[in-house]
Amino acid sequence: MQMAASNPDVPLTYKDPINRIMMKRFLIIWIVLAVCGRTVAQEGKNTFIKKVFTRLDTMSISGVDRRYIDAPERPWQVIAKGNVNQSIVKMKTSGTIADINYSARPHLKTEPSQYVGLWAGYRGYGIGYTVNVGGDKGSYLTFGATGGTYGVNVRIHSFKNNHPDFNLATDLIPEENKDDWQQIHLKDPIKVHTVIADGYYLFNGKHFSYAAAYDQSVIQKRSAGSLMAGAMYYYSHIDYASHSNGDLIYLMHGLGRVKLWQGSVGVGYAYNWVPVRGLLINVMAMPMLTFVNKIKAYGYATNVPELLDDPRMWDDDIDNEAWDEWWDGSLRITPMGKKTFNSGVMVNFDARLSLTYNFGRYFVNAYGQFNNFRYQHSNTHGYLNDWFVNTSIGIRL
């Protein structure tokens, strides 16, 4: 099932040079900010930048009990990060071709991908960027802002996959050939772009710090927990709309692109355990109620029915290479419009675990997170799972 040239009208692309440009800009911005911040502190000038940094210093310790939470004297953090991530998009569809029933469960599972990058911040306000060094191609851009009783984090992930596990079940394919159809190489890859933003409010910010566990801008000195309220926003764009994927779109009942939005709120509990000086273990659990659950489906017509009626489709005298060339060069798709669907309220669950060890100006951290998001459209439905394990080592400047 080889595919043909990609659709030039599809607007969404992700190219490696863009990743490199964004990385360079990120480094330049934070080098400039670091130089400005330290220069202002040394010279003591009453400038706008100094006022901003002073305000951040105040906010980081405002209202906290210094017996439980300590703000390091050195406000800057530079962190080298290593990340292992896997994203899984699973779709399921069924239908009939030439009076023969079929079902397909395309499984767009990326290889566990390795990322490396940097994060830099001042008192918990920072930006990070990681690039792929192993597995499927992709990139991460992250933003963070934490205070004594609140925090906001944004994670942007882009990746593409051209070898989905298709899991096609149908009498159209002889039993001895079905193994060849389980994994397909697409000439035009499926592209996935996700944005996850979450925020929280702590009811016991005086004794408990979420920032101590997840960005190390402060240090938790004694064990404490807190009830917390949280909100999460999720967006995903799955796009495989191209001429070369016309047969895939046909099997998916004309669905070539899908966008998902979800908004959730919840109340949970988090606990920081400090068994020995310098070591922090954090656990957090939060049931969440999803009240925004919207899907926008983009439909496409294909010429697959016409190709199925073509005598060349069933001509056993045509060799495989000639048949592939005819099929690949003949596939076409035509946009047919879009439709928005709103799903009902559902319950999700957010859980995280973090380990941190502080020693002098340095610290090491590891934490993991898992997200699950579902969608449904006509006879097609599925979900996206996204998990990552992050390890880092940082220094305070």
Mapping DSSP onto H, E and C, the string for the chain reads CCCCCCCCCCCCCCCHHHHHHHHHHHHHHHHHHHHHHHHHHHHCCCCHHHHHHHHHHHHHHCCCCCCCEECCCCCEEEEEEEEEEEEEEEEEEEEEECCEEEEECCEEECCCEEEEEEEEEECCEEEEEEEEEECCCEEEEEEEEECCCEEEEEEEEEEEECCCECCEEECCCCHHHHHHHCECCCCCCEEEEEEEEEEEEECCCCCCCCHHHHCCCCEECCCEEEEEEEEEEEEEEEECCCHHHHHHHHHCCCEEEEEEEEEEEEEEEEEEECCCCCEEEEEEEEEEEEEEEEEEEEEEEECHHHHHHCHHHHCCCCCHHHHHHHHHHHCCEEEEEEEEEECCCEEEEEEEEEEEEEECCEEEEEEEEEEEEEEEECCEEEEEEEEEEEEEEEEEC
Given a cut of 90, whether residue 209 has pLDDT beyond it is yes
Say what the pLDDT of residue 299 is. Answer: 85
Given a cut of 50, whether residue 3 has pLDDT beyond it is no
Chain mean pLDDT for the chain: 78
Given a cut of 80, whether residue 212 has pLDDT beyond it is yes
- According to DSSP, the residues that pair with 282 across neighbouring strands are 272, 354
Q: How confident is the model at residue 135 (pLDDT cuts 50, 70, 90)?
A: low
Say what the pLDDT of residue 100 is. Answer: 47
Q: Using a pLDDT cut of 90, give the percent of the chain over it.
A: 25
Give residue-wise pLDDT tens across range 340-391: 877 777 777 788 899 999 998 999 999 888 776 666 555 556 676 777 888 9
Give residue-wise pLDDT tens across range 243-256: 988 888 887 778 78
Alpha carbon distance 209, 101 (integer Å): 56
Say what the pLDDT of residue 14 is. Answer: 37
The answer to whether the CB of 394 falls within 8 A of the CB of 216 is yes
Give residue-wise pLDDT tens across range 157-175: 887 777 766 555 554 455 5
Say what the pLDDT of residue 17 is. Answer: 47
Given a cut of 60, whether residue 71 has pLDDT beyond it is yes
Alpha carbon distance 205, 185 (integer Å): 51
User: Which of 280 and 386 is assigned the larger pLDDT?
Assistant: 280
Say what the pLDDT of residue 229 is. Answer: 96
Say what the pLDDT of residue 98 is. Answer: 47
Given a cut of 50, whether residue 5 has pLDDT beyond it is no
Query: Which tokens go with 375?
Result: 């969608």
Say what the pLDDT of residue 11 is. Answer: 35
Give residue-wise pLDDT tens across range 9-68: 333 333 444 455 555 555 555 555 555 555 545 555 557 777 777 777 766 666 789 899
Q: Using a pLDDT cut of 70, give the percent of the chain over it.
A: 72
Given a cut of 70, whether residue 101 has pLDDT beyond it is no
Q: Which residue has the tokens 């190219």?
A: 15
Query: Which tokens go with 87?
Result: 């994203």
Prediction pTM value: 0.74
Given a cut of 90, whether residue 339 has pLDDT beyond it is no
Q: Which of 62-66, 72-76, 183-187, 368-372 has the highest mean pLDDT?
A: 72-76
Given a cut of 60, whether residue 124 has pLDDT beyond it is yes
Given a cut of 70, whether residue 104 has pLDDT beyond it is no
Once rounded to an integer, what is the mean pLDDT over residues 326-331? 89
